[in-house]
Structure 1
Amino acid sequence: MDSDVKIPKEGPKDGKKVFKKLRTCSRTFFYILNREFGHLKEHEERASDVLAGGIMQEGHQCGMLWGASLAIGAEAFRRCTDKNQAIAVAVYATQKVMESFSEREHTINCREITHCDFSSKLSMAKYFFTGRFLHCFNLAEEWAPEAVSTAIEGLSKNKNEPSKACLSCATEVAKKMGASDEESIMVAGFAGGLGLSGAACGALAAAIWMRSLRWCREVATKSSMDNPYAKETLDRFYQFTDSKILCSQITGKQFKNIEEHTRFMNNSGCEALINVLSNS
């Protein structure tokens, strides 16, 4: 663990400091929660840079949520007795963290929080010159303790109950890309557009993270934002979906629970898309 960063009993109070050091919101919250759980993961955390700004700065779900969900998945893998329990717990805990975040920000989407289109140099300049970026730093500082406590509460739910078959689209694409058992559960909470929210595709986010993780293991120190394979995966995804990215639009469904999502997956739901992503 970082010896220069201490965690008060009431929860982490150094969100700004960590954000300034790590530079992306996704990596910041992956790190903060991993640190709380006592299991830092340098490569995995660095690979999550590409999820900042709402998946490669596309403006969708805030990177803080993607990073938190990855840490939740990693902890679910350690706590649960089998993969079905781990998937269900990861999805549930991700949902609880998303609810906490949404109550504070009244949205889960990066662009609505930052008021910035990161693909536009003019919009990015405005984001910095107006000081809007300070909102993200303040959010990291203020929400981190609640994110940690909510994640811990969510992870404690149902982990000892008898397991039922559970599938996550994100887990399936990760497995097809050669993920370890732990890595495949790390992304489990991405299911159905992150916590079954129907927002930007969780399988896409998992594929981009997996490609970035491979790159990070080969390339030392650089941010995975510099990883060329992530952009290739996103382009291939858009070609296949005719530029759709929301889970609810791609599937035509809004999943009520993990059981419904599992039935959809068992009926070959998104099978073609998962094959495209895993081969990208």
Structure 2
Amino acid sequence: MKTAIDHREFGPKDASKVFKKLRTCSRTFFHILNREFGHPKELEELAADSLAGGILQQGQQCGMLWGASLAVGGEAYRKCKDQNEAICVAIKATQDIMESFSKNENTINCRDITHCDFSSKLSFAKYMLSGRFLYCFKMADRWAPDAVKAALNGLSYKEIDEHSVSISCATEVARNMGASDEEMIMVAGFAGGMGLSGAACGALSAAIWMKSLAWHREESKKSSLKNPSIKKTLETFYETTGSKIRCDDITGINFNTLDDHTNFIRNGGCDSLLKVLAKS
């Protein structure tokens, strides 16, 4: 009789060790998946610090998800024949990663997991003194093998209409900020609040990551959380959206398919917000 094999035996076993070294969950999972793919990206990974704790520590989607999505976007760029296919694959892989994460944690949001408001010194102190931060290290070890499996599954997606057009709001912001073709696809999975989920705005995250990447290239290798310009981007975003951050609240739409999202953007949906973010 055959014994069922636990795929965790074959996945990364050092996630918490990497986490302790790199210090943010977003950078950790960007790095771990890049390592699996054989394409490390030091500055790009460092720029992902700004997405730790749910977009500048605002408590939305866990940074592990933002980092993993950037990694599968990069791999989609390398393996796909054109931009339309790469965007589609990046979004599908991001969706698979999100589903895997949610099955493990029953949520995708940082604050639900950490019980911490990182903007509050008191809340952060409680997070550290209570030992709750240790849960994140354990979670990283537990989820890393599943994250790799989900990423590879999503990246193998083949059901793509070669004549269809695929648009990601995050890619459009990156394009308008002067991103390379690779960088545009790296953020593609952020579309529609990450994987078309309707959660916190993916275009915002793309703008913040792009600004952080530029900052690292020009000025500093310190954590991008220390970059003053990205805080201004967040303030401008809130002013433009009336303090809304969720994609479904901003757009009033639930995107069921990539075609839905593509048509929305092609028809001018969020056009003014995307321009504001690109110029912020």
TM range (shorter): over 0.9
Q: How does 1:107-126 map to 2 (within 5 A)?
A: 107-126=107-126
Paired position in structure 1 for 2:10? 10
Paired position in structure 2 for 1:5? none
Paired position in structure 1 for 2:133? 133
Q: How does 1:51-90 map to 2 (within 5 A)?
A: 51-90=51-90
**What's the CA shift for 1:154?**
0.5
Aligned-CA RMSD value: 1.2
Distance 2:159 2:147 in 1: 19
| CA displacement, residues 90-137 of structure 1 (integer Å, 9 cap, x when unaligned) | 001100000000011000000000000001111001101111101100
Distance 1:170 1:214 in 2: 16
Q: Conserved in 2, the CA contact under 8 Å of 1:174 and 1:184?
A: yes
Paired position in structure 2 for 1:103? 103
Residue identity (%): 65
Q: TM-score, normalised by structure 2?
A: 0.96
Q: Conserved in 1, the CA contact under 8 Å of 2:27 and 2:48?
A: yes
SS in 1 for 2:10: coil
| Letter of the structure 2 residue corresponding to residue 16 of structure 1 | S
Q: 1:266 to 1:161 in 2, by over 3 A?
A: closer
Distance 1:143 1:50 in 2: 21
Distance 1:136 1:164 in 2: 40
Q: TM-score, normalised by structure 1?
A: 0.96
Question: Once superposed, which parts of structure 1, at least 4 consecutive aligned residues long, lie more than 3 Å away?
Answer: none
Distance 1:173 1:52 in 2: 20
Q: Conserved in 2, the CA contact under 8 Å of 1:174 and 1:183?
A: yes
Q: Conserved in 2, the CA contact under 8 Å of 1:90 and 1:189?
A: yes
Once structures 1 and 2 are overlaid, which stretch shifts more, 152-161 or 74-83?
Answer: 152-161
Q: Unpaired runs of 5+ in structure 1? A: 1-7
| Letter of the structure 2 residue corresponding to residue 228 of structure 1 | P
| CA displacement, residues 153-196 of structure 1 (integer Å, 9 cap, x when unaligned) | 10001277524100000000000000000000000000000000
Q: Conserved in 1, the CA contact under 8 Å of 2:88 and 2:160?
A: no
Q: Conserved in 1, the CA contact under 8 Å of 2:174 and 2:206?
A: yes
| CA displacement, residues 42-71 of structure 1 (integer Å, 9 cap, x when unaligned) | 110000000000000000000000000000
Distance 2:182 2:163 in 1: 18
**What's the CA shift for 1:82?**
0.4
Q: Unpaired runs of 5+ in structure 2? A: 1-7
Distance 2:63 2:13 in 1: 19
Paired position in structure 2 for 1:3? none
Once structures 1 and 2 are overlaid, which stretch shifts more, 159-168 or 204-213?
Answer: 159-168
Distance 1:137 1:220 in 2: 27
Distance 2:135 2:221 in 1: 27
Q: Conserved in 2, the CA contact under 8 Å of 1:25 and 1:64?
A: yes
Distance 2:217 2:26 in 1: 18
**What's the CA shift for 1:257?**
1.0
The alignment of Structure 1 onto Structure 2 pairs a total of residues equal to 273
Paired position in structure 2 for 1:258? 258
| Letter of the structure 1 residue corresponding to residue 10 of structure 2 | E
SS in 1 for 2:103: helix
Paired position in structure 1 for 2:177? 177
